[in-house]
């Protein structure tokens, strides 16, 4: 490889468009404006690119056949443009739950905290195997999952339900299980966000968080899931744009920290696989240094892959210049290139001896049809989801509901946009599911920040009903802002377009539940994201947690409410009292059944 191609192997970029060579005119314009190229083929040729990452907002994930065709086009473009013929590693951020880029008709599975609520490592392993099998059929060979953060702070605006829970050892078990499941399907994994993003109220997409754990606390709370991932054979570790003074007092984010990346991850934990940055477009990594320095400093820290630099030409030129001027040696670049090539070999893009590229295209059309969203996969997703729904309160044994006594049900409340844009809205999904179970259910959306008019409309609709089911969304998060659903700007690796949540979301949802309770109609709440909502809401007749709002979780919750399935989920995080956060309202492991 030339120096340029070696450097290109270290870059992973997004590109707009549904095809590699013929995107829509609007996507061509965006590519020219942001990336200086027209399409994926030009991007690969210009930067000798090693990796491409798919996003829904970049119009890469319209349908299974389109995704598979895009993957084939990208590999064909790489074969023509790259002298070495090394295939591109195509990746995606498909955690499932709150972060999903590939939507229906692909199988959507419960996310991390829901799996944590199931208490089953086998469910986590099976979910990862299913997800990986479907990604493989689409020509995708890496998933930026699982999330290895331990969600300690309930107000964490960026992790939350993306974490398996608050118990480090339990999270470690789930992380290891998912690494094993993905690897069994031929998919490279990425444990994130090292050294741990679970105890902060700041969002690294928009600011630079500080984690104030001592070294001993880091060893106890943050390290176990990453140790488990390494033991399980994780293919890459993604860094966090966070400052951890106990690990590096310089004030540099972990992504740019030699003491953290090389000193702790590589030397202390013994990890010699690929280290990738989180998106370099995120504000957390851009607060201290310019975009040219960030790429170079990440490589000097020990990173191998540079994800989504906001100004690709600037980052590319800076790395080449650093090598030519001696700040980085070519041998240092080759260390990272070899790690990347070994990862590509492990997922079948190269033979293990490195002699020649293998077949790299997505599976055939027939294979896509038989694998992606198959009946067996969808049935498994429903079965796994049934084990996750958590019944938190049921003081008067209202649940399970019976159509004989509570036939006429109003489903009202928050309708956050689907993570993949392909399911929902939640109130309608729940109403349809309950109707299919023998109830007469109607849906009324009030949004995540209902005003007085919306509350009055809901109260009027509730009169005469036998029960009201209220979906709630992040009531317990004190920093409920536009970042809470998909956390910020379109260019960030873990994000999509922001939603329109506002700080009024808390008061509006509380007012809605209180007003409905005052009607005398039995009220059930269903937290469709963070399970902490129950601590801030008025007392109701029953309260449940679903941990996400895609159809698979909502259908499972409907079956539990109707008594077609017993609630089996157990809290994987503690829920603290709103009036006294030092006291626990419901501990880890809490969950009722019938």
Q: Let me know: does 161 contact 113? Beta carbons within 8 Å.
A: yes
CB under 8 Å to 163, separation ≥6 — which residues? 112, 113, 116, 147, 149, 150, 151, 171, 198
Percent residues over pLDDT 90 in the chain: 85
Beta bridge partners of 472: 527
CA-nearest of 434, 392, 340 to 573 is: 392
Taking 60 as the threshold, does the pLDDT of residue 503 lie above it?
A: no
What average pLDDT score do residues 70-80 get? 96
On the 0-12 / 13-18 / 19+ scale of CB atoms within 10 A, 20 is buried
Identified catalytic residue from 278, 484, 494, 533: 278
The secondary structure element, H or E, covering residue 237 is: strand 236-239
CA-nearest of 85, 40, 97, 42 to 545 is: 97
Identified catalytic residue from 59, 144, 205, 590: 205
pLDDT tens-digit profile of 248-277? Answer: 999 999 999 999 999 999 999 999 999 999
What pLDDT band is residue 283 in, cutting at 50, 70 and 90? confident
Per-residue model confidence (pLDDT) at position 494? 44
CB under 8 Å to 465, separation ≥6 — which residues? 408, 409, 410, 521
pLDDT tens-digit profile of 108-164? Answer: 999 999 999 999 999 999 999 999 999 999 999 999 999 999 999 888 888 999 999
- Residue in this structure with the two tokens 């392993």, named with its chain if needed: 125
What pLDDT band is residue 285 in, cutting at 50, 70 and 90? confident
- Enter the pTM of the model: 0.92
241 is catalytic: no
- The alpha-carbon radius of gyration of the chain (Å, integer) is 24
What pLDDT band is residue 486 in, cutting at 50, 70 and 90? very low
Per-residue model confidence (pLDDT) at position 282? 87
What pLDDT band is residue 202 in, cutting at 50, 70 and 90? low
193 is catalytic: no
């Amino acid at each position: 490889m030339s120096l340029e191609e070696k450097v290109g192997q270290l870059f992973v970029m997004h590109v707009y468009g549904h095809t590699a060579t013929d995107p829509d005119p609007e996507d061509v314009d965006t590519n020219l404006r942001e990336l200086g190229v027209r399409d994926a083929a030009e991007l690969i040729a210009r930067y000798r690119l090693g990796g491409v990452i798919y996003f829904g907002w970049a119009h890469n994930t319209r349908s299974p056949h389109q995704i598979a065709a895009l993957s084939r086009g990208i590999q064909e473009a790489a074969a023509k443009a790259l002298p070495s013929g090394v295939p591109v590693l195509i990746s995606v951020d498909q955690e499932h739950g709150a972060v999903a880029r590939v939507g229906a008709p692909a199988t959507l599975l419960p996310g991390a905290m829901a799996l944590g609520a199931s208490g089953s490592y086998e469910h986590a392993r099976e979910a990862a195997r299913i997800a990986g099998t479907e990604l493989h059929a689409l020509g995708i060979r890496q998933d930026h999952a699982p999330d290895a953060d331990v969600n300690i702070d309930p107000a964490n605006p960026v992790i939350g339900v993306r974490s398996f829970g608050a118990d480090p050892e339990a999270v470690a078990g789930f992380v290891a299980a998912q690494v094993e499941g993905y690897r069994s399907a031929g998919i490279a994994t990425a444990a994130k966000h090292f050294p741990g993003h679970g105890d902060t109220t700041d969002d690294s997409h928009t600011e630079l968080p500080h984690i104030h754990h001592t070294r001993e606390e880091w060893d106890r709370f943050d390290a176990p899931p990453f140790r488990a991932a390494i033991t399980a054979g994780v293919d890459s570790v993604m860094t966090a744009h966070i400052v951890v003074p106990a690990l590096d007092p310089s004030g540099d984010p972990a992504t740019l920290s030699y003491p953290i990346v090389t000193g702790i991850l590589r030397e202390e934990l013994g990890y010699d696989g690929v280290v990738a940055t989180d998106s370099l477009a995120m504000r957390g990594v851009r607060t201290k240094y310019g975009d040219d320095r960030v790429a170079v400093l990440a490589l000097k820290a020990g990173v191998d892959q540079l994800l989504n630099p906001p100004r690709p030409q600037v980052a590319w030129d800076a790395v080449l210049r650093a090598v030519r001027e001696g700040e980085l040696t070519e041998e240092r670049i080759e260390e990272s290139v070899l790690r990347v090539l070994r990862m590509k070999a492990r997922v079948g893009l190269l033979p293990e001896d490195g002699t020649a590229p293998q077949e790299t295209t997505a599976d055939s059309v027939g294979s896509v049809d038989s694998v992606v969203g198959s009946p067996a996969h969808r049935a498994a997703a429903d079965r796994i989801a049934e084990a996750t729904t958590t019944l938190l309160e049921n003081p008067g044994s209202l649940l399970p509901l019976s159509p004989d006594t509570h036939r006429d049900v109003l489903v009202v409340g928050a309708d956050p946009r689907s993570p993949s844009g392909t399911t929902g809205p939640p109130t309608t999904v729940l109403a349809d599911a309950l109707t299919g179970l023998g109830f007469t259910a109607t849906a009324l959306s009030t949004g995540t920040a209902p005003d007085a008019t919306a509350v009055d409309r809901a109260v009027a609709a509730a009169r005469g009903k036998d029960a009201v089911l209220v979906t709630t969304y992040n009531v317990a998060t004190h920093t409920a802002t536009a970042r809470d659903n998909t956390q910020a700007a379109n260019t960030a690796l873990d994000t999509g377009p922001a939603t329109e949540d506002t700080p009024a979301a808390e008061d509006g949802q509380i007012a809605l539940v209180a007003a409905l309770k005052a009607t005398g109609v039995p009220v059930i709440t269903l937290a469709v994201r963070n399970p902490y909502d129950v601590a801030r809401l008025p007392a109701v007749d029953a309260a449940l947690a679903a941990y996400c709002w895609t159809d698979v979780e909502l259908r499972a919750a409907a079956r539990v409410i109707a008594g077609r399935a017993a609630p089996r989920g157990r809290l994987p995080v503690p829920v603290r009292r709103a009036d006294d956060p030092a006291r626990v309202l419901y501990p880890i492991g809490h969950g009722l059944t019938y």
